[in-house]
């Protein structure tokens, strides 16, 4: 602050100047990432739920890329999750149980699908996008349902047998290896995504979200950026799906279902879109709440989640991380 006081620059008047985000990790972020690590040792009885949370968190992150950063509304993101899950699952069923290559292939398949779909998605407005993503999700669901000779249909794909992870660690019933594996994949991809959204490319995505008509004027290739981010997001969703298939050693038809896409949106909004951490927090809270509340009565659970959604939209736009950010910044610089 002493430098700012002696040299009165525009930045000095504004305590939070607009500048390119640096990639530095904040203290809170480091503490945040120590939590799942601590959970591995302290909550070792709940690791199965834990790895589910990590996987869903990764899936939510992928939606955050297109929804929170690029502003593309999707109601069919589960399609890519499902493609990844079936890719990884089928690979293992047919005799290739190596986890990492299966995961990569799951991501690649989903990314290819995402690339093809993205051309339909980027051309429309919100309503058309909603319909196209919804339609493609439903199409895939129907396809997987009808192609029971490949996917197992409503019975699901069972008989997924994985080899030892990295040739050393066998997947155990307690879920220790599954948890560590999921956490490692999540963290690695998170670091990459964090880098991505803080890059000039990430900034121009935010520009698209805020003012789609102005970005072409400064020479940003709008369509190409949207196609690229959609493809990346689809790939990440595919990896999340692959993780689910490998760690649970089962693929159910509901990986492709509309409820999965809708719940994903709910998690993201609950946590706060466009912040990456919102996706993680929202997914964790949603999954924990679902685990304990839907056990009591699934109907009430659906009612409360609906009510929560309405309340968040009406009164708490920005979700949990949005509220936290507002609390954090208010005492310092009055508003923004």
Footprint of other proteins (CB under 8 A): 67, 73, 75, 120, 123-128, 130-132, 134-136, 138-139, 142-143, 145-146, 258-259, 262, 265-266, 269, 299-300, 302-303, 305-310, 312-314, 317
3-state secondary structure of 165: strand
269 with 313: CB under 8 angstroms? yes
270 with 320: CB under 8 angstroms? yes
64 with 277: CB under 8 angstroms? no
Q: Rounded to an integer, what distance in angstroms lies between the CA atom of residue 144 and that of residue 242?
A: 16
Please report how close the Cβ of residue 126 comes to other proteins at its closest, in angstroms: 4
Q: Rounded to an integer, what distance in angstroms lies between the CA atom of residue 255 and that of residue 257?
A: 6
- What backbone phi and psi angles, to 5 degrees, belong to 165? -70, 125
Return the number of other C-beta atoms located less than 10 Å from residue 184's C-beta. 12
> Toward other proteins, which CB reaches closer, 16 or 123?
123
3-state secondary structure of 169: strand
Please report how close the Cβ of residue 23 comes to other proteins at its closest, in angstroms: 28
Please report how close the Cβ of residue 163 comes to other proteins at its closest, in angstroms: 36
Please report how close the Cβ of residue 74 comes to other proteins at its closest, in angstroms: 10
Please report how close the Cβ of residue 128 comes to other proteins at its closest, in angstroms: 5
Please report how close the Cβ of residue 136 comes to other proteins at its closest, in angstroms: 7
> Toward other proteins, which CB reaches closer, 91 or 312?
312
3-state secondary structure of 99: helix
> Toward other proteins, which CB reaches closer, 142 or 172?
142
Please report how close the Cβ of residue 35 comes to other proteins at its closest, in angstroms: 27
DSSP 251: B
Both structure tokens of 264: 């994903």
> Toward other proteins, which CB reaches closer, 243 or 256?
256
Q: For 139-172, give the DSSP string.
A: HHHHHHHH-HHHH-GGG-B-------BTTTBPP-
> Toward other proteins, which CB reaches closer, 165 or 205?
205
56 with 240: CB under 8 angstroms? yes
> Toward other proteins, which CB reaches closer, 116 or 188?
116
Q: Rounded to an integer, what distance in angstroms lies between the CA atom of residue 60 and that of residue 54?
A: 10
> Toward other proteins, which CB reaches closer, 50 or 152?
152
- Residue 21, CA distances (Å) to 68, 181, 197 in order: 17, 30, 9
Please report how close the Cβ of residue 315 comes to other proteins at its closest, in angstroms: 10
What is the H or E stretch that residue 158 is in?
Answer: none
Please report how close the Cβ of residue 265 comes to other proteins at its closest, in angstroms: 6
162 with 249: CB under 8 angstroms? yes
> Toward other proteins, which CB reaches closer, 131 or 188?
131
> Toward other proteins, which CB reaches closer, 226 or 248?
226
């Amino acid at each position: 602050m002493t430098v700012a006081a002696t040299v009165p620059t525009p930045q000095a008047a504004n305590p939070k100047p607009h500048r390119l985000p640096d990639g530095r990790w904040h203290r809170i972020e480091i503490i945040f990432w120590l939590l799942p690590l601590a959970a591995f040792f302290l909550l070792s009885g709940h690791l199965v739920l834990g790895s589910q949370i990590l996987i869903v968190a990764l899936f939510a992150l992928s939606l955050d890329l297109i929804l929170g950063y690029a502003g593309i509304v999707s109601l069919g993101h589960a399609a890519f999750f499902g493609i990844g899950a079936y890719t990884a699952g089928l690979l293992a069923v047919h005799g290739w149980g190596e986890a990492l290559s299966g995961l990569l292939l799951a991501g690649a398949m989903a990314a290819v699908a995402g690339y093809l779909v993205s051309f339909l998605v980027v051309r429309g407005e919100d309503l058309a996008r909603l319909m196209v993503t919804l339609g493609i999700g439903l199409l895939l669901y129907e396809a997987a349902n009808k192609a029971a000779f490949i996917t197992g249909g409503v019975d699901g794909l069972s008989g997924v047998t994985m080899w030892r992870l990295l040739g050393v660690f066998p997947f155990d019933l307690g879920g220790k290896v599954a948890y560590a594996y999921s956490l490692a994949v999540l963290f690695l991809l998170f670091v990459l995504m964090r880098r991505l959204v803080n890059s000039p490319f990430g900034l121009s995505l935010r520009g698209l979200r805020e003012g789609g008509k102005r970005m072409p004027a400064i020479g940003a290739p709008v369509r190409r950026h949207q196609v690229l981010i959609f493809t990346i997001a689809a790939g990440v969703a595919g990896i999340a799906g692959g993780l689910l298939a490998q760690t649970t050693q089962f693929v159910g038809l509901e990986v492709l279902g509309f409820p999965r896409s809708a719940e994903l949106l709910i998690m993201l909004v609950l946590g706060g879109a466009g912040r990456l951490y919102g996706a993680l927090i929202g997914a964790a809270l949603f999954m924990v709440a679902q685990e304990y509340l839907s056990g009591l009565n699934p109907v009430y659970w659906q009612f409360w989640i609906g009510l929560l959604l309405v309340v968040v939209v009406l009164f708490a736009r920005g979700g949990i991380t949005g509220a936290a950010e507002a609390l954090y910044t208010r005492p310092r610089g009055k508003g923004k």
